């Protein structure tokens, strides 16, 4: 029999939630549900609603409990504590009275030949035997509680002569004596401030080197030969880039700009993270390793155009003017559609610089 015809999923969920709420009898109920499902299957049902199975399992459990209660009652009535077969038969008669059984109205009937027993006998003979599907362990499992050890078992001498050593030991002193707790980590404000200033200086240095690179970009052919350290970023160029004439548009294939995928809402973007791919690629000598979900920078020329502000405004001003000059340059006509991405990256940089905490990540 399969549980094919189910109600909607919510009903299933509520029934499972109910079973979690009901308490410690879940195992017994689950076993009863399986047994009832097997009985329904042997009766002829193909499938069932889970709530109907739950209800029928509950009815079965109640039937067994009521039968036990009735049998116990009859045993106690006869002055016994353990029940025997006649108590059970009387209990069965009590429960079956609504249905009726043969011989119920006999005054002098004998319990041994009671109608219920005969009916059960007929049931056993006619019904096919369907044993339970799974092996069931004895339940509930009784757990032995952990005994508190005595003085002798621990090996501790009792506090006084008046305490014998077979008594349970006293609990540890830390459970009832309050000792003050100190924070072990020493917070030295001075070293923290020094560390912060150092990291800020590192950030400023790396940005300065970037600006220098951008200055080269704007006027000359850029030859990226940066040594690996992110903080230093020194350029070793063969010719003076400031004196070389600008290339006309179309002479040199300008690569597509790849911006690292930055989330504009994300405030916590460290400067190093933004430039990590560029630095990594420069280290490797090729810029194909720049992160890009769609596009990869094919050539060796990163056209990065940033606007960022730092504390000293004097550095900002010439760069922005250079940027405006560069905008009129024909080179940048192609990159109009990428301007907003650049602007976004610049904005993030600015925010990163404004937040001194971000510098701690450098």
Q: Residues interacting with other proteins, by CB under 8 A?
A: 4-5, 10, 14, 28, 31-32, 35-36, 38-40, 42-49, 51-53, 55-56, 59-61, 63-69, 71-72, 81-85, 88, 92, 98-99, 110, 112-113, 116-117, 119-121, 123-124, 127, 129-132, 136-140
**Token duo for residue 165:** 């050593």
Close Cβ partners of 353 (under 8 Å, ≥ 6 residues apart): 203, 207, 271, 308, 309, 310
CB of 73 to other proteins, least distance (A): 8
CB nearer to other proteins: pick between 5 and 168:
5
- SS3 call for 235: strand
CB of 165 to other proteins, least distance (A): 40
CB nearer to other proteins: pick between 82 and 161:
82
**Per DSSP, what are the bridge partners of residue 168?**
150
CB nearer to other proteins: pick between 98 and 147:
98
CB of 71 to other proteins, least distance (A): 5
CB nearer to other proteins: pick between 18 and 193:
18
CB nearer to other proteins: pick between 143 and 313:
143
| CB 167 within 8 Å of CB 150 | yes
CB nearer to other proteins: pick between 32 and 304:
32
Cα 13 to chain center, whole Å?
21
Calpha distance 254→334 (Å, rounded): 9
CB of 145 to other proteins, least distance (A): 20
* Nearest by Cα to 127 from 119, 138, 139: 119
CB of 105 to other proteins, least distance (A): 18
CB of 26 to other proteins, least distance (A): 13
Calpha distance 173→155 (Å, rounded): 17
If one counts every other C-beta atom within 10 angstroms of the C-beta of residue 353, the result is 19
Residues in the chain: 362
CB of 144 to other proteins, least distance (A): 19
* Residue written as token pair 């940089």: 349
Close Cβ partners of 261 (under 8 Å, ≥ 6 residues apart): 291, 292, 293
CB nearer to other proteins: pick between 98 and 179:
98
CB of 79 to other proteins, least distance (A): 14
CB nearer to other proteins: pick between 142 and 186:
142
Residue 62 Cα distances to 71, 161, 180, 225, 252, angstroms: 14, 58, 57, 85, 89
**Token duo for residue 173:** 């002193």
| CB 221 within 8 Å of CB 241 | yes
């Amino acid at each position: 029999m399969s549980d094919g015809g189910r109600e909607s999923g919510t009903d299933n969920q509520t029934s499972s939630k109910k079973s979690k709420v009901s308490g410690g009898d879940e195992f017994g109920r689950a076993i009863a549900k399986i047994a009832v499902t097997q009985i329904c299957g042997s009766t002829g049902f193909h499938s069932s609603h889970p709530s109907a199975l739950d209800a029928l399992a509950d009815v079965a459990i109640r039937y067994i409990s009521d039968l036990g209660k009735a049998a116990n009652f009859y045993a106690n009535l006869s002055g016994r504590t353990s029940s025997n077969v006649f108590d059970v038969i009387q209990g069965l008669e009590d429960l079956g009275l609504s249905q009726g059984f043969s011989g119920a109205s006999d005054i002098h009937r004998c319990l041994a030949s009671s109608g219920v027993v005969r009916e059960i006998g007929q049931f056993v003979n006619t019904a096919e035997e369907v044993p339970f599907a799974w092996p069931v362990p004895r339940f509930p499992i009784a757990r032995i509680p952990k005994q508190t050890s005595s003085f002798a078992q621990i090996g501790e001498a009792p506090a006084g002569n008046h305490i014998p050593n077979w008594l349970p030991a006293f609990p540890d002193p830390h459970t009832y004596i309050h000792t003050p707790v100190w924070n072990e980590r020493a917070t030295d404000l001075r070293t923290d401030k020094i560390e912060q200033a150092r990291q800020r200086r590192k950030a400023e240095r790396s940005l300065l080197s970037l600006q220098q690179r951008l200055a080269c970009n704007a006027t000359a052919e850029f030859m990226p030969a940066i040594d690996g350290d992110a903080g230093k970023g020194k350029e070793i160029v063969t010719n003076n880039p400031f004196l070389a004439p600008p290339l006309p548009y179309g002479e040199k294939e300008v690569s597509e700009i790849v911006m690292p995928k930055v989330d504009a809402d994300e405030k916590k973007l460290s400067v190093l993270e933004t430039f990590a791919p560029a630095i990594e690629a420069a280290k490797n000598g090729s810029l194909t390793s720049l992160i890009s979900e769609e596009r990869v920078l094919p050539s060796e020329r990163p056209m990065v155009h940033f606007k960022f502000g730092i504390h000293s405004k004097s550095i900002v001003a010439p760069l922005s003017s250079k940027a405006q000059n560069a905008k009129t340059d024909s080179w940048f006509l192609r990159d109009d559609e990428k301007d907003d991405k650049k602007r976004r990256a610049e904005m993030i940089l600015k925010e990163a610089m404004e937040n001194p905490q971000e510098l701690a990540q450098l």
